[in-house]
C-alpha cells in the first residue's frame, strides 16, 4: 500500500497568542497517538538567510522593507524540498507561522498592498489547515510586556491583527479561528480536534499550492 501523505498544519496569530506553546503540545500529542509528526517554524533562523532575518528582528541590522519581505519568503522557499519530502513520507508538519505572517506583517507597514505581499509566496505548499489563535490586543497585553524585537509594539501588532482578519476572508485557504483566551489545555483540545480531521482528509488529497 502506498504511504499516505502527512498534513501541513500551520498555526498563526499575533505575537503572544501562544503559537509556540501550542505547536509543541500538538506535536507531542500527535507523537503519543502514533502519528508521525515534526515541528517547523518560520522564520527558521538557523539558515544563512535566517541569520540575516534574525539580525534584522533583533535590531542589529537594518534592511529595506521590500528586501526583508523577500528574505522571509526565500526562507520559506528554501525549506520546500524538505517539507515536500516529509509530507510525501507520511509525516505531518506542525508549522509555527507561514506565509500568512509574511503578508500580515509586511502589509501592516505603510505603502504595501496585499497582492504585492502575497506574490513571492505563490506556489508554496498549501496548508491543509491554518489555525488562527485569536487574542484581543487587550488580552495580549495582560500576558506581560513585549520583548525587544522589532515588531513587538502594540500599535503595529494591532495593524497586523487587522491584516490577518482580511486574510481570513480568503476561502481558498482552510482557516480555523481558535479562541486563544481559553486555558492552555482547552486551546490544545480544540487544536487537536481540528488537526486530527485535517490529517484524515489530507491522506486522500493531493498537496495543493498557494
Ligand atoms: P517569532 O520567531 O515567531 O517570534 O517571529 C519573529 C517575528 O517576525 C514576529 O514578530 C513575526 C515576524 N514575522 C514572521 N514571519 C514574517 C514574515 O514573513 N514577514 C515579516 N515581515 N515578518 C514576519
Ligand atoms: Na516574536
Ligand atoms: Na512564538
Mean pLDDT by 10 residues, the chain (210 residues): 85 92 98 97 98 98 98 99 98 98 98 97 98 89 83 91 96 96 97 98 96
Q: Are 71 and 121 in contact (CB under 8 A)?
A: no
pLDDT of residue 1: 43
Tell which atom from ligand 1 comes closest to the C-alpha of 96. Answer: 3
Atom 2 (ligand 1) nearest CA: 43
Instruction: Give SS3 for 134.
Output: strand
Distance 35 CA to ligand 1 centre (A): 28
DSSP state, 125?
Answer: B
Angle at which helices 65-77 and 48-57 pack, to 10 degrees?
140
The Cα 38–Cα 103 span in angstroms is 24
Q: Which helix (H) or strand (E) holds 90?
A: none
Distance 178 CA to ligand 3 centre (A): 16
pLDDT of residue 85: 98
pTM surpassing 0.80? yes
Tell which atom from ligand 1 comes closest to the C-alpha of 73. Answer: 18
Q: What is the ipTM of this complex?
A: 0.93
Amino acid at each position: 500500500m502506498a504511504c499516505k501523505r502527512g498534513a501541513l498544519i500551520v498555526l498563526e496569530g499575533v505575537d503572544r497568542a501562544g503559537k509556540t506553546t501550542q505547536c509543541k503540545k500538538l506535536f507531542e500529542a500527535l507523537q503519543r497517538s502514533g502519528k508521525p509528526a515534526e515541528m517547523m517554524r518560520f522564520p527558521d533562523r538557523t539558515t544563512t538567510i535566517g541569520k540575516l532575518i534574525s539580525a534584522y528582528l533583533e535590531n542589529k541590522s537594518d534592511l529595506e522593507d521590500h528586501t526583508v519581505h523577500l528574505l522571509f519568503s526565500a526562507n520559506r522557499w528554501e525549506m520546500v524540498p524538505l517539507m515536500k519530502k516529509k509530507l510525501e513520507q507520511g509525516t505531518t508538519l506542525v508549522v509555527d507561522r507561514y506565509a500568512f505572517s509574511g503578508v500580515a506583517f509586511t502589509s501592516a507597514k505603510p505603502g504595501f498592498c496585499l497582492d504585492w505581499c502575497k506574490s513571492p509566496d505563490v506556489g508554496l505548499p498549501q496548508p491543509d489547515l491554518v489555525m488562527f489563535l485569536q487574542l484581543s490586543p487587550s488580552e495580549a497585553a495582560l500576558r506581560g510586556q513585549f520583548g525587544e524585537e522589532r515588531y513587538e509594539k502594540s500599535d503595529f501588532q494591532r495593524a497586523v491583527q487587522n491584516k490577518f482578519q482580511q486574510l481570513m476572508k480568503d476561502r481558498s485557504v482552510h482557516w480555523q479561528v481558535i479562541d486563544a483566551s481559553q486555558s492552555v489545555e482547552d486551546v490544545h483540545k480544540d487544536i487537536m480536534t481540528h488537526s486530527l480531521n485535517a490529517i484524515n482528509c489530507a491522506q486522500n488529497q493531493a498537496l495543493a499550492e498557494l
